[in-house]
Amino acid sequence: MFVDSVDIQVEAGSGGNGCVSFRREKFVPRGGPDGGDGGRGGSIFLRASNDLNTLVNFKYHPIHRAQRGSHGEGSNRAGKSGKDLYLDVPTGTIVFEKQESELLDGENTLQQLIDLSEDGQVWQAAAGGHGGRGNQRFSSSTNRAPRRFEKGHCGEAFTLRLQLKLLADVGLVGYPNVGKSTLISRLSAARPKIASYPFTTLTPHLGVVRLDEERDFVIADVPGLIQGAHEGQGLGHQFLSHLERTKVLVHMIDVTSATGRDPIDDFQTIQAELSKFTTHNSSIQSKTDDTAALAEKQQLVVATKIDAVDEKQRLEQLRNALKIQGLPLYEISAVTGQGLSRLLEGIWAALGHHDGSSSADEKGPLTP
């Protein structure tokens, strides 16, 4: 099960109480206070891991508590500190703190705390409480037998929202059934479900595409978009956020008449949804520094299923419309493999341009 957003509660361990104790031995003329300090409570840490790709473990276990510290003991023995708790999350997880809004509607507001975008990155989600001091800490020249001690401090407790945004170089976008799943299964080892009905893909899939021994990139297949996706219609709003980290978008358009739609209208509709999502999303949460507006990302437009084109004027009209906008059109068939090598080189060239490296692809982009 793919889960990309979940609320959890984290409670760090409280510190142990200090001890009140006095040393009394038969042949020791002067005893005195010897109560030890309480142990520190365990803290809770979030740790990013490339081995995970879903937050499903947190969906069924939303409450996480660290171990509390032990109480102090006599003979100046300090209590044992609580064990820290490490929670592994997928790389690309953004952590928000849920706060009660001051608005009259009482809705929760989200404040971004950290973006765990690197494998092995560790962040302290809740600090454990300090242990209380024992009575030996309060001994002085004027107070030889203090009976004072401190209770352990409570550990921090927060309600957090974890949101996963997949880390991929390339994102596939388009209407349902345009061939995104077929393409990623042809280019990588990913094996998403492929069928002839809409919304076959219900969760994003990642695949590694290798052009040769020195060139590879990560590609993401995102469930199909429809008009109104930025407002949550279909599966759009749930998965559009996964495209925010991608460097290049591959916009796939079905040019066959089986869709019953006009390819140019499909292109304009998806472009509008990408633009509206950024505006709509900015009012919900702040963007991270490494994400740009979806509509501003570099795009490659791909005409799919050209092996099944029955009305050639549909493809020609799309070519002409994109030519006016200065966009090249890549024509492919994921089934037969036609045009795939040219598309791969185009994607690699676009990735190199995004990184600002002129030597990323010595061949440069190929004109379709």
Spatial CA neighbour of 47 closest among 96, 87, 6? 87
pLDDT beyond 90 at 174 = no
- Residue among 264, 101, 183 at smallest CA distance from 191: 183
The per-residue pLDDT for 40 is 96
pLDDT in tens, 231-269: 444 444 455 666 777 888 899 999 988 888 899 998 888
Distance CA 37, CA 29 (A): 25
pLDDT on residue 111: 86
For residues 260 and 85, give the distance between their C-alpha atoms in angstroms, rounded to a whole number.
55
Phi, psi (degrees; rounded to nearest 5) at 320: -65, -40
CA distance 303 to 267: 10
Predicted pLDDT of residue 212:
85
Give CA–CA dist 361/212, Å, rounded. 12
Q: Are 126 and 155 in contact (CB under 8 A)?
A: yes
- Asked if residues 33 and 75 have their Cβ atoms less than 8 Å apart, the reply is no
CA distances from 188 to 160, 239, 365 (A): 35, 21, 21
Distance CA 54, CA 164 (A): 8
Higher pLDDT, 180 or 88: 88
Average pLDDT over every residue of 80-96? 94
Angle value at C-alpha 221, between 196 and 6, nearest 5 degrees? 110
Cα–Cα distance measured from residue 166 to residue 218, given in angstroms and rounded to the nearest whole number:
10
CA atoms of 96 and 103, how far apart (whole Å) = 19
The predicted-structure confidence for 107-143, as pLDDT tens digits, reads as follows: 567 888 999 989 999 999 999 999 999 999 999 888 8
Reported as type and span, the H/E element at residue 263 is: helix 263-282
What pLDDT does 190 receive?
A: 63
pLDDT at 101: 53
Q: How confident is the model at residue 62 (pLDDT cuts 50, 70, 90)?
A: very high
Q: What pTM was computed for the model?
A: 0.70
Between residues 194 and 87, which one has the greater pLDDT? 87
Give the tens place of pLDDT for each residue, 280-318: 454 444 444 444 566 678 889 999 999 888 888 988 999
Per-residue CA distances from 259 to 149, 265, 315, 325, 347 (Å)? 77, 12, 13, 24, 26
Q: What are the structural domains of the chain?
A: 5-164 (2.70.210.12), 170-354 (3.40.50.300)
Give the lowest-confidence range in 65-69, 209-213, 345-349: 209-213
Strand partners, 325: none
